[in-house]
Structure 1
């Protein structure tokens, strides 16, 4: 198990370096897309600032609390699609029988699929969240290390949830729309204070769409450290990784080859 984890991390590192080299070939395009995404996201800061100028708290959250949610979600989302840029193509590849070339390689097929692409604009989301964190908390080492840890776990949780929904395509046909809906739910619910939601919605945010473990609980731990909450986030991340792997590899047994064999690095 440990050896397999090391191999997967090594493969992820290889793809990460390869993807960086690829996007750097078109530096101006890369910079424009990153800056454009940062500028787009920054517009929401102004919106929330105006709102909190007229209302002191919303659902128990102040302006800085709200911005911390944005920082966590933006960087988690960005990291997810920087490292696992191919995650939203899984359903298409299953339906069209395009997994063949990945299955023929002596590498973990799921990691190979996920990491073989990066989304350029996601680098802007990642950087935006980091900048926003420093604006909120300043150069506080412990808080920043916790922030980075939670952004990594958040990216893993988001990627695992999307893999799980896409893997349903092995069993019930095209579920791309369902996976897209899950992404939209993640983004929509994560940027609003937890206190405004009903208990029924909160139940969903702690289970099926685990937004709470991506932004709400991490934000609490960063502001007031709790080892129990930290372990809860790590545990949930591990559980979702196991669920994603199980769903994908059990579904893979139902996969029908499309006889589309192409060369991959």
Structure 2
């Protein structure tokens, strides 16, 4: 088991270096897309600043609390698509029979699929979140290390949820619409104060849409370290990894390769 985990990290590291080399071949384009995303995201700071000039708090959150949510969600989203750039293409690859190449290689197919691509603009999201953290928390080294760790766990949960949804394509055909809707839910529920969500919706934030473990609990731990909450986030990340792997590999047994081959008679 330990050897398999080591191989997975080694493969992820290889793809990360390869993807960096690829995007840096077109540095101007990389910089334009990355900083364009930073500027786009920065516009929301102005919106929240105006809003909090008129109210003291929203759902128990102040301006800096909301900005910390934005920092976590932005960097987590960015890191997810920097490292697991193909996560949004799984349904298309299943339906078009494009998994064959990955299945023939002596590597973990899921890691191989997810990490073989990076999204350039996602680097801007990652950078934006990091800069925003320092603007909110200052040079808090301990807090920043926790922030980086939680960005990793949140990006893993983000990718795991999407893998789980896309894996439904093995059974139900095209679920790209559902996957896109899930992505929007994950983002939307992660950038607004937890206190505005009531009733059953709050339970969803800690289960089907794990925004609670992605940003809400991490923001509390960064502000005031709590070992129990910290372990809950780690546990949630491991559970979602297990769910994603289970769904993908069970569905893979139903995969029919060569769907691109058309018989013309």
Which residue of structure 2 lines up, in the alignment, with residue 46 of structure 1? Answer: 46
The yes-or-no answer on 1:254 pairing with 2:258 is: no
Look up the match of 2:130: 130
Question: What is the deviation of 1:199?
Answer: 1.8
Deviation at 1:259, TM superposition (A): 6.2
- Root mean square deviation, CA, Å: 0.9
CA apart distance, 1:171: 1.0
Q: Which ranges of structure 2 fall in alignment gaps of 5 or more residues?
A: none
Shift of 1:200: 1.1
The whole-number CA distance in structure 2 between the counterparts of 1:193 and 1:259 is 45
Give the Å deviation of 1:173. 1.0
1:100 and 1:260 in contact (8 A); partners too? no
CA–CA distance in structure 2, aligned partners of residues 76 and 159 of structure 1:
10
Aligned residue in 1 for 2:179: 179
Match of 1:215 in 2: 215
- Separation (CA, whole Å) in 2 of partners of 1:142 and 1:188: 28
Q: Distance in 2 between matches of 1:191 and 1:84?
A: 21
Aligned to 2:65: 65
CA distance in 2, matches of 1:166, 1:134: 35
- Residue 74 of structure 1 is matched in structure 2 by 74
Match of 1:245, SS state, is helix
Task: Please state how far the C-alpha of 1:88 moved relative to its aligned partner.
Answer: 0.5
**Is it true that 1:198 corresponds to 2:205 in the alignment?**
no
Q: Which residue does 1:140 correspond to in 2?
A: 140
Indicate the residue corresponding to 2:228 in structure 1.
228
Q: Deviations over 1:31-89 (max 9, x none)?
A: 00011000000000000000000101000000000000000000000000000000010
Instruction: Tell me how far apart the structure 1 counterparts of residues 115 and 207 of structure 2 sit (CA, whole Å).
Output: 26
Q: How many residues align?
A: 261
Match of 2:4 in 1: 4
Q: Distance in 1 between matches of 2:46 and 2:200?
A: 31
Moved over 6 A (4+): none
In the alignment, the residues of structure 1 paired with residue 172 and residue 7 of structure 2 have an alpha-carbon distance, to the nearest angstrom, of: 31
Aligned counterparts, 1:50-129, within 5 A: 50-129=50-129
Per the alignment, in what secondary structure is the counterpart of residue 58 of structure 1?
A: coil
CA deviation profile, 1:1-53 (whole Å, cap 9, x unmatched):
10000000000000000000000000000000011000000000000000000
Query: Where does structure 1 lack aligned partners over 5 or more consecutive residues?
Result: none
Instruction: Return the offset for 1:260.
Output: 6.0
Q: Decide whether aligned partners of structure 1 residues 187 and 259 sit closer, same or farther in structure 2, where only a CA change above 3 A counts.
A: closer
Q: CA separation in 1, counterparts of 2:220 and 2:259?
A: 50
**Structure 1 residue 172: deviation in Å?**
1.1
Corresponding residue number in structure 2 for 1:154:
154
- Report the Cα distance in structure 2 between the residues aligned to 1:260 and 1:23, rounded to whole angstroms: 29
TM-score (norm 1): 0.97
Q: Do the aligned residues in 1 keep the contact of 2:90 with 2:166 (CA within 8 Å)? A: yes
8 Å contact 2:95–2:259 — kept in the other structure? no
> Does residue 32 of structure 2 align to residue 32 of structure 1?
yes
CA deviation digits over 1:173-214, x for unaligned, max 9? 111111111100011111110001112111111100101111
